[in-house]
């Protein structure tokens, strides 16, 4: 459970985790773009689906915490980078396809923005409950 879930005793279904993962994926993409012409560099990526699934499974297990109010450490673990095999390997051993990376960059950014927008709306709903609907 995330801090927001703990504070308001409700489930914000993984939007924080989604933001965290898309941020890390953005880092992987930035590394690929920066090394588009570096000999022997291998493109990296983050398996978004399996990482998110893992985060949810970590949430479900009760083994890690002894109390409902404890923060678990499992879901905050650093995610692991995987090989990105979307591009063909060039003669210098580099397999970055710059066009694929730029596409990924913008899709990843859009996903992050969506998660952030939904999270912001949820917080706004909570805020209106605190302040009252008259605002």
Kindly list the residues in this chain that would bind another protein in the complex (CB under 8 A). Answer: 19, 22-24, 26-31, 33-42, 44, 77-78, 80-83, 98, 101-102, 105-106, 108-109, 112-113, 116, 119-120, 123-124, 127
Query: What are the angstrom distances between the C-alpha of 128 and each of 5, 10, 100, 121, 122?
Result: 17, 16, 42, 10, 10
State which residue, 52 or 116, has the beta carbon closest to another protein: 116
CB of 126 to another protein, least distance (A): 11
CB of 27 to another protein, least distance (A): 4
State which residue, 52 or 119, has the beta carbon closest to another protein: 119
């Amino acid at each position: 459970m995330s801090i927001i879930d703990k504070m308001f005793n409700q489930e914000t279904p993984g939007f924080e985790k989604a933001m965290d993962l898309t941020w890390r994926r953005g880092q992987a993409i930035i590394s690929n773009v920066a090394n588009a012409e570096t000999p022997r560099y291998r493109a990296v990526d983050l398996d978004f689906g399996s990482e998110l699934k893992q985060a949810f499974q970590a949430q479900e297990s009760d083994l890690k915490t002894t109390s409902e109010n404890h923060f678990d450490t499992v879901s905050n673990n650093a995610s692991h980078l995987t090989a990105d095999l979307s591009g063909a390997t060039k003669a210098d051993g580099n397999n970055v396809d710059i066009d694929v990376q730029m596409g990924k960059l913008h899709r990843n950014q859009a996903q992050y923005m969506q998660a952030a927008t939904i999270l912001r709306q949820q917080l706004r709903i909570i805020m209106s409950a605190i302040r009252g609907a008259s605002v």
